[in-house]
Structure 1
Amino acid sequence: MAFPDSSIDYREHPEAYRIGHGERGVFHVQPYKDELLPLWAIRNEADATEAILAIEARYRDYREQDDFVGMDMARKYLQMGYTRSRRYARYPGGRKRDKSGKAIEPRDADAEKARIAQRYQKALDAVRDDKQYCQAKKAHQRMTRR
């Protein structure tokens, strides 16, 4: 079975969920994509702050429901907030190459996006350090190895 598969309801079939690396699955793992993507934003500091608070609240809801897949997907959206805002902070317009295809040297291009990245990173680190998240991750890994 290929992962991620948009046709699977991962809340009903958490055994089909693979943790993977980075942000893999953020646009395919249902129903979490539909719940988290509308909350996510990096346009400006106000929107990003609101997004972080909303994703953290959703993370806590998933944690209270012992829903590891939801917890991990919330983590991935926080990680995506960090990586995307960091990219925009370092490259004008978020583009790593110019129109001719030549690589652009990274630099401090957008101070606001750098501050947004710091806020997302702080929220991401809190999730990664959450003991309940770590325990649920280990339990999920044991379950999916069978």
Structure 2
Amino acid sequence: MGDRSTDTDDGPEYGIDFRANPAEYDIGRGEEGVFKIEPYKSELLPLWSYKDEAAAAASAEAIYDQYEQYRANDEFPGMDMARKYLQMGYTRAMRYAKYPGGQKYDEDGTERDPEQWADPDKREAALVFESYWERVREDDVYQQAKERHRERTAEP
């Protein structure tokens, strides 16, 4: 991978423009890199909100619109980052839906039992994000771009 520096205050930061250097992009697991991969973080984070169902609907639609732009430009890192923001909208909203105040663990580190539903509005927000996340995951163009990206970045 490219030139990466470590900032002890904020964790690892990447000194890479992933739009200009898409081969440097590592898909990673789940939502990995969602706050680090530029310029996509700066384009997608302002669109992301899961406060309630209405905010989630506007957010998920805006992120999906951005996904479609990345798709039209054959920009796989952007497509994948949009997928990650939709996934993160689902997981964060669902955490608040199941755990009062979104607190999954007690102060001593013990995992709390989830409630059914601690915050029903957050559950509705999560379901909005889930439907858009699923659209991206099932998109043939996304799947093909992901496979091509993996082939191009595979170690020889």
Q: What's the TM-score once normalised by structure 2's chain length?
A: 0.89
Structure 1: segments with no counterpart, 5+ residues: none
Aligned-pair identity (%):
49
Q: CA deviation at 1:98?
A: 2.8
Aligned length: 146
Q: CA deviation at 1:45?
A: 1.5
CA–CA distance in 1 between the matches of 2:125 and 2:54?
9
Residue 79 of structure 1 is matched in structure 2 by: 87
Asked if structure 1 preserves the Cα contact closer than 8 Å seen for 2:104 and 2:112, the reply is: yes
CA–CA distance in 2 between the matches of 1:55 and 1:12?
21
Structure 2: segments with no counterpart, 5+ residues: 6-11
One-letter code of the match for 1:27? F
Deviations 1:69-123 (A, max 9, x none): 0000000000000000010000000001234544311112011111111111110
1:118 lines up with 2:96 in the alignment: no
CA RMSD of aligned residues (A): 1.6
Q: What's the TM-score once normalised by structure 1's chain length?
A: 0.94
Which stretches of structure 1, 4 residues or longer, exceed 4 Å deviation after superposition?
2-5
Asked if structure 1 preserves the Cα contact closer than 8 Å seen for 2:31 and 2:85, the reply is: yes
1:93 lines up with 2:101 in the alignment: yes
CA–CA distance in 2 between the matches of 1:135 and 1:101?
41
Residue 31 of structure 1 is matched in structure 2 by: 39
